[in-house]
Structure 1
Amino acid sequence: MPKTIKVPFEEEQIKTLRSGDKVLLTGTVYTARDAAHQRMIETVETGGIMPFEVSGQVIYYVGPTPAKPSQIIGSAGPTTSSRMDKQTPKLLEMGLKGMIGKGYRSEEVKKAIVTQQAVYFGAVGGSAALITKSIKSVEIIAYEELGTEAIRKLEIEDFPVVVINDIYGGDLYEDGIAKYRQV
């Protein structure tokens, strides 16, 4: 049975999550991919104001396609997370508590997840239709000129994810490989 978690996170919620847990997220998340991550870091480095309060938040690595008539959002499947690894430790230092994407994270990011008490969720690639049903509203809040890479505020309900990396150093991918090798 999946755990239901409200986002943005409360500190105690993260402590209950372990790699391999199935979770349904409900609340607010923000979208950002490569170009938006670079802009956010540049903003911080030049003393500017971030487009949203990062502390306690979750970023979904997605660049949704344009919505068709009568849709809230187009296809919204996850992007490969390692593309954001260079900027992720800084965002975690700023209080980011969750990330949603697909694929492995670098050792530096995994260490920062433990140190900064955050969590990395995997969303299933190829399941964009299911994911899209969980998105209830969309609003572009920054960098509109980036098109699909603009930062969006999403209101989600029962958004299906799996914990990949947790605050205890758990790594679902490494655990899966270890189990396979034992067979």
Structure 2
Amino acid sequence: MSVPLSDKDILSLKAGDRVLLSGIVYSARDAAHKRMFETLERGESLPINLEGNVFYYVGPTPSKPGEVIGSAGPTTSGRMDKYTPTLLRMGLKGMIGKGYRSQDVVDSIKENNAIYFAAIGGAGALIAKTIKKVEIVAYEDLGTEAIRKLEIEDFPVIVINDSYGNDWYKQGVERFSSI
């Protein structure tokens, strides 16, 4: 599936779907989210256009010689939850991370026709091989938490929260609790 995402793309996905993403995503972690939120509170424009875009919650390690990025595994998404509904209202369409999202975020995903994907934690070196190009686009002073433009190819994710309000984590618990 190509990113940025269209509404049609998002509506076609259901919790539990496995997807290979290709295109452009942006890295953004805790410090970048806080700074974006503060920027919006001051009535200023964000350094990137969120419309249709996807954030990957990652703080990559430095790259080794000849590589475009170091290890690039997902970070825990819940730390961005207090900022996420605002960013979704601004046009953000997808997020990639790991772990549960708050009910406020799940509701906002549904309200804004967005999606939350999980990447495999502990596989940062493997995931880094799907990142073909990296460019810092904002907040360079934040180091690993700077916003980066990442060109990805066949980046493996699973839909956790779809735009219909479904939660793959909860569905999985329900399935296995009856065994």
TM-based fold match above 0.5:
yes
Structure 2 counterpart of 1:13: 9
Q: Which amino acid aligns with 2:63?
A: A
Q: Counterpart of 1:111 in 2: which secondary structure?
A: helix
- 1:41 lines up with 2:37 in the alignment: yes
- What's the C-alpha RMSD, in Å, of the aligned pairs? 0.6
1:21-56 superposed Cα distances (whole Å, 9 cap, x missing partner):
000000000000000001001111112221110010
Q: TM-score, normalised by structure 1?
A: 0.97
Structure 2 counterpart of 1:145: 141
CA distance in 2 between partners of 1:169 and 1:50 (Å): 28
Structure 2 counterpart of 1:89: 85
CA distance in 2 between partners of 1:11 and 1:21 (Å): 16
CA distance in 2 between partners of 1:139 and 1:114 (Å): 31
Q: Which amino acid aligns with 1:41?
A: F
Out of 29, 48, 53, the position equivalent to 2:25 is 29
CA distance in 2 between partners of 1:57 and 1:149 (Å): 18
Structure 2 counterpart of 1:164: 160
Q: Which amino acid aligns with 1:159?
A: F
Q: Counterpart of 1:163 in 2: which secondary structure?
A: strand
Unaligned runs of 5+ in 2: none
Out of 54, 60, 72, the position equivalent to 1:58 is 54
Out of 73, 80, 96, the position equivalent to 1:100 is 96
- 1:118 lines up with 2:114 in the alignment: yes
Q: Counterpart of 2:156 in 1: which secondary structure?
A: strand
Out of 72, 75, 82, the position equivalent to 1:76 is 72
CA distance in 2 between partners of 1:24 and 1:50 (Å): 28
CA distance in 2 between partners of 1:139 and 1:71 (Å): 13
CA displacement at 1:64 relative to structure 2: 0.3
CA displacement at 1:110 relative to structure 2: 0.3
CA distance in 2 between partners of 1:125 and 1:175 (Å): 20
Unaligned runs of 5+ in 1: none
CA distance in 2 between partners of 1:165 and 1:132 (Å): 24
Identity rate, percent: 62
Q: Counterpart of 2:142 in 1: which secondary structure?
A: helix
What is the total number of aligned residue pairs between the two structures?
179
